[in-house]
Amino acid sequence: MKLYNPILISFLTIVLSSYLTALYTPAYSQKSASDTILSNGLRIGFDLGRIANFYMKDQKNFSLEGSADIGYQRWLGVAELGYANIKSSKDQVYDYNSNGVYGRVGVERNLLKGGDDVVFWGLRYGISQMTYSYGYYNVIDTIWGGSSGSIPKTSATQHWGELVGGIKGLVWKNFYLGFTLRFRFKISGSYNADLGPIIVPGYGAADKSTAFGANYYVSYRIPFKKPATFPKKKKVKKDKKAAPVLPATPPKK
Protein backbone atom coordinates (compact mmCIF):
# COMPACT_ATOMS: atom_id res chain seq x y z
CA MET A 1 0.00 0.00 0.00
CA LYS A 2 1.42 3.37 -0.98
CA LEU A 3 2.01 5.69 1.93
CA TYR A 4 1.45 8.85 -0.11
CA ASN A 5 -1.95 7.96 -1.54
CA PRO A 6 -4.08 11.19 -1.61
CA ILE A 7 -7.09 9.50 -0.02
CA LEU A 8 -4.99 8.18 2.84
CA ILE A 9 -3.32 11.53 3.39
CA SER A 10 -6.77 13.16 3.63
CA PHE A 11 -7.86 10.54 6.13
CA LEU A 12 -4.72 11.10 8.18
CA THR A 13 -5.46 14.84 8.29
CA ILE A 14 -9.00 14.19 9.56
CA VAL A 15 -7.71 11.85 12.26
CA LEU A 16 -5.12 14.33 13.50
CA SER A 17 -7.65 17.18 13.53
CA SER A 18 -10.20 15.12 15.45
CA TYR A 19 -7.61 13.97 17.95
CA LEU A 20 -6.19 17.43 18.62
CA THR A 21 -9.69 18.86 19.02
CA ALA A 22 -10.57 16.18 21.56
CA LEU A 23 -7.25 16.57 23.36
CA TYR A 24 -7.54 20.32 23.95
CA THR A 25 -11.28 20.54 24.60
CA PRO A 26 -12.07 20.46 28.35
CA ALA A 27 -14.90 17.94 27.97
CA TYR A 28 -16.22 15.79 30.84
CA SER A 29 -14.67 18.18 33.40
CA GLN A 30 -11.51 16.09 33.38
CA LYS A 31 -9.63 15.54 36.61
CA SER A 32 -5.91 15.10 36.99
CA ALA A 33 -4.76 12.73 34.20
CA SER A 34 -2.14 11.18 36.43
CA ASP A 35 -4.85 9.93 38.79
CA THR A 36 -6.81 8.02 36.10
CA ILE A 37 -6.23 4.32 35.39
CA LEU A 38 -7.35 3.19 31.93
CA SER A 39 -10.11 0.61 31.96
CA ASN A 40 -9.76 -2.83 30.51
CA GLY A 41 -11.41 -3.16 27.10
CA LEU A 42 -11.29 -4.98 23.79
CA ARG A 43 -10.87 -2.80 20.68
CA ILE A 44 -11.64 -4.29 17.23
CA GLY A 45 -10.79 -2.45 14.01
CA PHE A 46 -10.38 -2.59 10.24
CA ASP A 47 -7.84 -1.00 7.93
CA LEU A 48 -9.66 1.65 5.88
CA GLY A 49 -6.73 2.02 3.50
CA ARG A 50 -7.12 -1.54 2.24
CA ILE A 51 -10.83 -1.03 1.61
CA ALA A 52 -10.23 2.32 -0.15
CA ASN A 53 -7.68 0.77 -2.51
CA PHE A 54 -10.22 -1.87 -3.54
CA TYR A 55 -12.47 0.82 -5.06
CA MET A 56 -9.74 2.58 -7.04
CA LYS A 57 -9.57 2.30 -10.81
CA ASP A 58 -7.17 -0.23 -12.35
CA GLN A 59 -6.63 -1.84 -8.96
CA LYS A 60 -5.69 -5.50 -9.45
CA ASN A 61 -4.82 -6.32 -5.86
CA PHE A 62 -7.24 -7.16 -3.08
CA SER A 63 -6.49 -7.16 0.63
CA LEU A 64 -8.23 -6.98 3.99
CA GLU A 65 -6.81 -6.44 7.46
CA GLY A 66 -8.33 -6.44 10.92
CA SER A 67 -6.86 -5.72 14.33
CA ALA A 68 -7.70 -6.27 17.97
CA ASP A 69 -6.12 -4.97 21.15
CA ILE A 70 -6.81 -5.40 24.83
CA GLY A 71 -5.53 -2.94 27.38
CA TYR A 72 -4.56 -2.80 31.00
CA GLN A 73 -3.55 0.56 32.38
CA ARG A 74 -1.03 1.95 29.83
CA TRP A 75 -0.16 -1.36 28.12
CA LEU A 76 -1.91 -2.89 25.12
CA GLY A 77 -1.59 -6.40 23.74
CA VAL A 78 -2.21 -6.35 19.97
CA ALA A 79 -3.04 -8.95 17.31
CA GLU A 80 -3.50 -8.23 13.59
CA LEU A 81 -4.63 -10.56 10.82
CA GLY A 82 -4.81 -9.97 7.07
CA TYR A 83 -5.32 -11.51 3.64
CA ALA A 84 -3.93 -10.40 0.28
CA ASN A 85 -4.34 -11.41 -3.35
CA ILE A 86 -1.67 -9.82 -5.53
CA LYS A 87 -1.51 -9.77 -9.32
CA SER A 88 1.28 -8.16 -11.27
CA SER A 89 2.44 -8.38 -14.87
CA LYS A 90 4.87 -6.74 -17.27
CA ASP A 91 4.72 -7.33 -21.00
CA GLN A 92 7.27 -9.87 -22.18
CA VAL A 93 8.86 -9.99 -18.71
CA TYR A 94 6.58 -11.77 -16.24
CA ASP A 95 3.03 -12.60 -15.21
CA TYR A 96 2.75 -13.02 -11.43
CA ASN A 97 -0.01 -14.08 -9.05
CA SER A 98 -0.02 -14.76 -5.29
CA ASN A 99 -2.37 -15.36 -2.37
CA GLY A 100 -1.47 -15.27 1.28
CA VAL A 101 -2.40 -14.63 4.88
CA TYR A 102 -0.34 -12.86 7.50
CA GLY A 103 -0.47 -12.10 11.17
CA ARG A 104 1.25 -9.86 13.68
CA VAL A 105 1.35 -9.92 17.47
CA GLY A 106 2.96 -7.46 19.82
CA VAL A 107 2.64 -4.88 22.57
CA GLU A 108 2.09 -1.13 22.70
CA ARG A 109 2.79 1.46 25.37
CA ASN A 110 0.44 4.42 25.72
CA LEU A 111 2.40 7.64 26.17
CA LEU A 112 -0.62 9.42 27.66
CA LYS A 113 -1.24 9.01 31.38
CA GLY A 114 -5.02 9.13 31.34
CA GLY A 115 -8.20 9.50 29.34
CA ASP A 116 -9.50 7.45 26.42
CA ASP A 117 -7.10 8.55 23.65
CA VAL A 118 -3.94 6.62 22.85
CA VAL A 119 -0.60 7.86 21.52
CA PHE A 120 1.65 4.83 21.38
CA TRP A 121 4.86 3.14 20.37
CA GLY A 122 5.37 -0.60 20.28
CA LEU A 123 6.84 -3.76 18.78
CA ARG A 124 5.46 -6.47 16.50
CA TYR A 125 6.43 -9.92 15.30
CA GLY A 126 4.99 -10.76 11.87
CA ILE A 127 4.66 -13.92 9.81
CA SER A 128 3.28 -14.42 6.30
CA GLN A 129 2.37 -17.70 4.61
CA MET A 130 1.63 -17.50 0.91
CA THR A 131 1.55 -19.28 -2.44
CA TYR A 132 2.80 -17.65 -5.63
CA SER A 133 3.22 -18.58 -9.28
CA TYR A 134 4.64 -17.16 -12.50
CA GLY A 135 2.62 -17.82 -15.65
CA TYR A 136 5.79 -16.89 -17.51
CA TYR A 137 9.02 -15.03 -16.89
CA ASN A 138 11.89 -13.83 -19.06
CA VAL A 139 15.20 -12.95 -17.43
CA ILE A 140 17.59 -11.01 -19.66
CA ASP A 141 21.32 -11.13 -18.85
CA THR A 142 23.78 -9.94 -21.52
CA ILE A 143 26.75 -11.59 -19.77
CA TRP A 144 25.52 -14.96 -18.50
CA GLY A 145 22.63 -15.33 -20.86
CA GLY A 146 18.94 -15.08 -20.12
CA SER A 147 16.40 -17.63 -19.05
CA SER A 148 12.67 -18.04 -19.40
CA GLY A 149 9.97 -20.37 -18.23
CA SER A 150 7.18 -20.63 -15.70
CA ILE A 151 6.93 -21.50 -12.01
CA PRO A 152 3.91 -23.46 -10.74
CA LYS A 153 2.18 -22.63 -7.49
CA THR A 154 4.85 -22.55 -4.78
CA SER A 155 4.64 -22.06 -1.02
CA ALA A 156 6.69 -19.48 0.85
CA THR A 157 7.01 -18.15 4.40
CA GLN A 158 8.56 -14.98 5.77
CA HIS A 159 9.19 -13.71 9.31
CA TRP A 160 9.86 -10.09 10.26
CA GLY A 161 9.84 -7.61 13.13
CA GLU A 162 8.36 -4.12 13.37
CA LEU A 163 8.83 -0.92 15.31
CA VAL A 164 5.50 0.92 15.34
CA GLY A 165 3.98 4.18 16.51
CA GLY A 166 0.68 5.96 16.06
CA ILE A 167 -2.57 7.37 17.42
CA LYS A 168 -5.97 5.95 18.38
CA GLY A 169 -8.31 8.88 18.95
CA LEU A 170 -11.77 8.57 20.49
CA VAL A 171 -14.24 10.35 18.19
CA TRP A 172 -17.66 9.20 19.42
CA LYS A 173 -18.99 6.70 21.98
CA ASN A 174 -16.21 4.08 21.90
CA PHE A 175 -15.52 4.62 18.16
CA TYR A 176 -11.90 5.39 17.30
CA LEU A 177 -9.99 6.66 14.28
CA GLY A 178 -6.25 6.27 14.06
CA PHE A 179 -3.15 5.26 12.18
CA THR A 180 -0.09 3.10 12.70
CA LEU A 181 3.31 3.85 11.16
CA ARG A 182 5.59 0.85 10.69
CA PHE A 183 9.30 0.23 10.21
CA ARG A 184 9.74 -3.42 9.22
CA PHE A 185 12.92 -5.50 9.17
CA LYS A 186 13.21 -8.98 7.70
CA ILE A 187 14.19 -11.84 10.00
CA SER A 188 14.08 -14.85 7.67
CA GLY A 189 12.29 -16.24 4.61
CA SER A 190 12.04 -19.44 2.56
CA TYR A 191 11.55 -19.04 -1.20
CA ASN A 192 11.95 -20.95 -4.44
CA ALA A 193 15.63 -21.14 -5.34
CA ASP A 194 14.96 -20.03 -8.93
CA LEU A 195 12.61 -17.09 -8.51
CA GLY A 196 10.99 -15.84 -5.31
CA PRO A 197 7.85 -13.78 -4.70
CA ILE A 198 7.61 -10.12 -5.66
CA ILE A 199 5.45 -8.93 -2.75
CA VAL A 200 5.09 -10.55 0.68
CA PRO A 201 1.60 -9.97 2.16
CA GLY A 202 1.82 -7.84 5.28
CA TYR A 203 5.48 -6.96 4.67
CA GLY A 204 6.11 -5.45 1.24
CA ALA A 205 8.80 -5.96 -1.40
CA ALA A 206 10.32 -9.41 -0.93
CA ASP A 207 13.80 -8.33 -2.05
CA LYS A 208 14.09 -5.57 0.58
CA SER A 209 15.59 -6.17 4.01
CA THR A 210 13.63 -3.23 5.47
CA ALA A 211 10.35 -1.58 4.57
CA PHE A 212 8.12 1.29 5.70
CA GLY A 213 4.34 1.23 5.80
CA ALA A 214 1.20 2.71 7.32
CA ASN A 215 -2.29 1.55 8.23
CA TYR A 216 -5.38 3.69 8.81
CA TYR A 217 -7.92 2.17 11.18
CA VAL A 218 -11.48 2.64 12.33
CA SER A 219 -12.21 0.65 15.47
CA TYR A 220 -14.73 0.11 18.24
CA ARG A 221 -13.91 -0.52 21.89
CA ILE A 222 -15.92 -2.94 24.01
CA PRO A 223 -15.27 -1.75 27.58
CA PHE A 224 -15.06 -4.31 30.36
CA LYS A 225 -15.63 -1.72 33.05
CA LYS A 226 -15.68 2.02 33.51
CA PRO A 227 -12.40 3.83 34.15
CA ALA A 228 -11.55 3.83 37.83
CA THR A 229 -10.63 7.33 38.96
CA PHE A 230 -8.92 7.94 42.26
CA PRO A 231 -9.14 11.61 43.29
CA LYS A 232 -6.37 13.08 45.34
CA LYS A 233 -6.95 13.14 49.05
CA LYS A 234 -7.59 16.59 50.40
CA LYS A 235 -5.76 17.59 53.54
CA VAL A 236 -8.21 18.55 56.24
CA LYS A 237 -7.01 21.18 58.67
CA LYS A 238 -7.61 20.19 62.23
CA ASP A 239 -9.29 22.88 64.31
CA LYS A 240 -7.71 23.73 67.60
CA LYS A 241 -9.66 22.44 70.54
CA ALA A 242 -11.77 25.17 72.00
CA ALA A 243 -11.37 25.90 75.69
CA PRO A 244 -14.15 24.37 77.76
CA VAL A 245 -16.91 26.79 78.69
CA LEU A 246 -17.38 27.02 82.48
CA PRO A 247 -20.83 27.62 83.87
CA ALA A 248 -21.44 31.17 84.94
CA THR A 249 -21.14 31.70 88.69
CA PRO A 250 -23.95 33.62 90.31
CA PRO A 251 -22.99 37.06 91.61
CA LYS A 252 -22.16 37.28 95.28
CA LYS A 253 -24.80 38.97 97.45
Range 54-75 average pLDDT: 74
Is residue 244 situated within a structural domain?
no
User: To the nearest whole number, what is the mean pLDDT of the chain?
Assistant: 77
Is residue 124 situated within a structural domain?
yes
Spatial neighbors of 10 by CB under 8 A, at least 6 apart, are none
Is residue 226 situated within a structural domain?
no
Is residue 222 situated within a structural domain?
no
Helix (H) / strand (E) containing 9: helix 6-23
Is residue 51 situated within a structural domain?
yes
Is residue 67 situated within a structural domain?
yes
Residue-range definition of the domain harbouring residue 61? 6-24+35-210
Is residue 206 situated within a structural domain?
yes
Query: 35 versus 110: which is more confidently predicted?
Result: 110
Residue 10 is predicted with a pLDDT of 46
The number of distinct structural domains making up the chain is 1
Least confident of 35-39, 80-84, 137-141, 245-249: 35-39
Least confident of 12-26, 159-173, 218-232, 239-253: 12-26
54 band by pLDDT with thresholds 50, 70 and 90 = low
Query: 39 versus 215: which is more confidently predicted?
Result: 215
Residue 41 is predicted with a pLDDT of 80
Residue 220 is predicted with a pLDDT of 92
Is residue 29 situated within a structural domain?
no
Task: Answer for the pair 221, 176: CB distance below 8 angstroms, yes or no.
Answer: yes
- Partners of 46 in the β-ladder: 66, 218
Checking if the pLDDT of 198 tops 80, the result is: yes
In whole angstroms, give the CA distance from residue 97 to residue 153: 9
* pLDDT digit string, tens, across residues 123-161: 999 999 999 999 888 777 666 666 787 888 989 999 999
Least confident of 105-114, 118-127, 229-238: 229-238
26 band by pLDDT with thresholds 50, 70 and 90 = very low
